[in-house]
Amino acid sequence: MAVVSGIIRVMEKAARKAGQRLRRDFGEIEHLQVSRKGPADFVSKADQRAERTLWDELRVARPGWGFLMEEGGVIEGDPDKPRFIIDPLDGTSNFLHGIPHFAISIAVQEPKLDGSGWGDVTAALIYQPITDESYWAEKTRGAWLQDARLRVAGRRHLDESLIATGIPFSGRGDSAEWTKIYSALAPQVAGIRRFGAASLDLAWVASGRFDAFWESDLAVWDTAAGCLLVREAGGFVTDWRGASPTICDKQVLAGNDTLHSRLHKAIAGALKS
């Protein structure tokens, strides 16, 4: 049985409150007021309301903490205190098309001791409002789904493995790079899936539903929580070169030790050609 810390309880309470409204809005999807933010990048009133709910709840629970939010940007806090990294609705396009696959992602990032910027992510929560699944992790304390401990899948062979990815679309991603990687991996694996919510892809790697995941050109709020979840579930998260920053966003490769190594070599080979 997991012993849930105060910060995870705070994050989960905020996510569940925002999730209740998202579920209601999802049920009334045809009535949502939607505005266009950029090429193939839509933001709904539901997205904005969810972010405001999270901000309201978290700033009261943790006064002085800063925020980095997808819609609201940076809100500076006490430089000696952590900040929340928030994606209030990862999978917005799914949400707006009535596809029940989206999530709220919250991470806690600590300031560096020397005051030079931001350091480790120490707590993470990814909440799927439709399934009411709450994935969470704390640094050195493991990864969990509700009160069940998570471990990455144990498969060692690519031909047994189900791999998740994100496909470039209008205005986002490198189609030529993705095509090279896909062409190298597809003949070797059991299947490739694109569900459209990177935070949930990473949570599903942590829980063993997916065996691995790759994508590029993501944002910090897409992956901050998911990177910690995978690592605390015993997995590896790096970029294409094998570097492992606290938050992988521009290039993300996640999986267990053996699959990660094999996929890393395959991607490196594909990008040399």
Question: Is residue 35 included in any domain, yes or no?
Answer: yes
Question: Is residue 70 included in any domain, yes or no?
Answer: yes
Q: Are residues 126 and 220 in the same domain?
A: no
pLDDT at 37 over 80: no
Q: Tell me, what CATH number does 177's domain have?
A: 3.40.190.80
Question: Is residue 175 included in any domain, yes or no?
Answer: yes
Question: Is residue 126 included in any domain, yes or no?
Answer: yes
Is residue 243 within 8 Å of residue 253, measured between CB atoms?
Answer: no
- Cα separations in angstroms, 76 against 81, 86, 148: 10, 14, 35
Tens-digit pLDDT profile for residues 186-212:
999 999 999 999 999 999 999 999 999
Q: Which residues fall within 8 angstroms of residue 151, CB to CB, at 6 or more apart?
A: 208, 233, 234
Residue 224: what are its φ and ψ, rounded to 5°?
A: -55, -45
The domain tally of the chain equals 2
pLDDT at 2 over 80: no
Average pLDDT, the chain: 93
Is residue 58 within 8 Å of residue 68, measured between CB atoms?
Answer: no
Q: Which amino acid is at 267?
A: I
Question: What is the rounded average pLDDT of the residues 253-265?
Answer: 98
Q: Are residues 202 and 256 in the same domain?
A: yes
Q: pLDDT band at 39, cuts 50/70/90?
A: very low
pLDDT of 196 reads: 96
Last residue of a domain, one of 108, 125, 149: 149
Residue 237: what are its φ and ψ, rounded to 5°?
A: -135, 120
Question: Is residue 193 included in any domain, yes or no?
Answer: yes
Tens-digit pLDDT profile for residues 128-187:
999 999 999 999 999 999 999 999 999 999 999 999 999 998 777 889 999 999 999 999
Here the contacts of 170-174 (C-beta below 8 Å, separation 24 or greater) are 170/39, 170/40, 171/38, 171/39, 171/40, 171/41, 172/39, 172/40, 172/41, 172/217, 173/216, 173/217, 174/216, 174/217
Q: pLDDT band at 78, cuts 50/70/90?
A: very high
Q: Are residues 197 and 236 in the same domain?
A: yes
Q: Are residues 102 and 167 in the same domain?
A: no
Question: Is residue 1 included in any domain, yes or no?
Answer: no
Question: Is residue 141 included in any domain, yes or no?
Answer: yes
Which residue in 169, 153, 166 sits closest to 223, CA to CA? Answer: 166
Q: Are residues 38 and 145 in the same domain?
A: yes
Alpha-carbon gap, residue 46 to 40, rounded angstroms: 17
Alpha-carbon gap, residue 257 to 37, rounded angstroms: 39
Q: Are residues 171 and 124 in the same domain?
A: no
pLDDT of 45 reads: 84
Cα 266 to the center of its chain, rounded Å: 24
Q: Are residues 30 and 141 in the same domain?
A: yes
Q: pLDDT band at 40, cuts 50/70/90?
A: very low
Question: What is the rounded average pLDDT of the residues 57-72?
Answer: 96
Alpha-carbon gap, residue 63 to 67, rounded angstroms: 11
Helix (H, G, I), strand (E, B) or coil at 148: strand
Residue 33 domain boundaries: 6-149
pTM: 0.94
